[in-house]
Amino acid sequence: MSDSNNHEENQDLEPVRIIMLRDESGDHLSVEVVVEIEHEQNTYVLLTPSEPVVMILKEDTTQEDAPLESLAPSDFVEIQKNIQDALIEHNVRVEVKSDEFTLVGEPNESFYADCDVMELEDEGGSNEYLVLVEVDDGGSKYLVVMSIEPSLYPGLLTSEEEARLLTDQELESVESLFSEVLSEWAEADSEEG
């Protein structure tokens, strides 16, 4: 990590390491290892889903100024066909994995470049999302959106092929290490830009 340009150059050369992340409920999610940190005889990792996590937002078009509501995976069945039909031309589909919506497939090169950007407020503040597709079923409009910033999950390697999420106490003990690495990356990106 001492050579900040090395991170960017090696990103294309290093093979992607895919492992399984086990959550609190025992479900597994395929994730990519972004960072590995050896600390006190443990290997801590920052992970991002190997398939992008998306949200499906629902707007009641029969009511003026209706708020956008996040669709629960259990409610996906009612709109699944319409959303899949809208995405198929882009060579992707939405699947529910570990109680999250994921975007599966290899999109056309222009797919992300052609997307609109929207800003959403949540408990963490304001975040920007790409609007991948919009589907209107007559009474509601559905937006499939993906955060511009990738999701990062802090974990602990339990084997070469698997990790588990960190407990709050474990995260407190290594959070500064993750922050340091991410700050170095942000510095390297700003120097290149």
Q: What share of the chain is helix, strand, coil (3-state, %, to 5)?
A: 25, 45, 30
Q: Judge if pTM exceeds 0.95.
A: no
**Statement to judge: residues 62 and 109 lie in one domain:** yes
Contacts of 160 (CB under 8 A, 6+ apart): 19
Bridge partners of 18, per DSSP, are: 32
Q: Is residue 193 included in any domain, yes or no?
A: no
Mapped onto helix, strand or coil, the DSSP state of residue 175 is helix
**Statement to judge: residues 76 and 125 lie in one domain:** yes
Which pLDDT belongs to residue 8? 41
**Statement to judge: residues 118 and 82 lie in one domain:** yes
**Statement to judge: residues 122 and 60 lie in one domain:** yes
**Average pLDDT by stretches of 10, the chain with 193 residues:** 40 70 82 91 92 92 87 92 94 89 90 91 85 92 92 92 92 89 77 70
Q: How many domains does the chain have?
A: 2
**Statement to judge: residues 89 and 126 lie in one domain:** yes
Is the torsion defined by CA of 79, 80, 81, 85 positive or negative? positive
**Statement to judge: residues 63 and 40 lie in one domain:** no
Domain encompassing residue 158: 4-49+151-188
Which pLDDT belongs to residue 19? 94
**Statement to judge: residues 104 and 170 lie in one domain:** no
